[in-house]
């Protein structure tokens, strides 16, 4: 199994060209938005996905996520990854 690698170049392309990021930077509602800021956020999100979330995929496959007393039970490691996200 190969390691997950976030598609940063695809996300950047979509934001820049399809989302017209350059035009958004000039709107008052997006004051402070810049391509550098977006790049930094994407890189950090990719790091979290690659290092904290993706390694957990196999746990859900191996252990499953049973419904017990109306609550989905996830592996304990998922809670730690969620705390990193928060």
Tens of pLDDT, residue by residue over 4-63, are 999 999 999 999 999 999 899 889 999 999 999 999 999 999 999 999 999 888 887 888
- Asked whether residue 1 carries a pLDDT value surpassing 60, the answer given is no
Burial per residue of 37-74, b for 16 or more beta-carbon CB atoms within 10 angstroms, e otherwise? ebeeebeeebeeeeebbeeeeeeeeeeeeeeeeeeeeb
Q: How confident is the model at residue 75 (pLDDT cuts 50, 70, 90)?
A: confident
Name the β-bridge partners of 71. 68
Closest CA to 54 of 26, 32, 84: 84
Burial of 5 (0-12, 13-18, 19+ CB in 10 A): exposed
């Amino acid at each position: 199994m190969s390691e997950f690698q976030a598609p940063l170049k695809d996300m950047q392309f979509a934001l820049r060209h399809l989302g017209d990021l350059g035009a958004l930077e000039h709107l008052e509602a997006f004051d402070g938005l810049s391509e550098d800021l977006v790049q930094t956020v994407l890189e950090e999100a990719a790091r979290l996905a690659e290092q904290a979330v993706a390694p957990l995929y196999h746990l859900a496959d191996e252990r499953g996520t049973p419904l017990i007393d109306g609550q989905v039970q996830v592996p304990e490691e998922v809670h730690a990854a969620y705390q990193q996200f928060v």
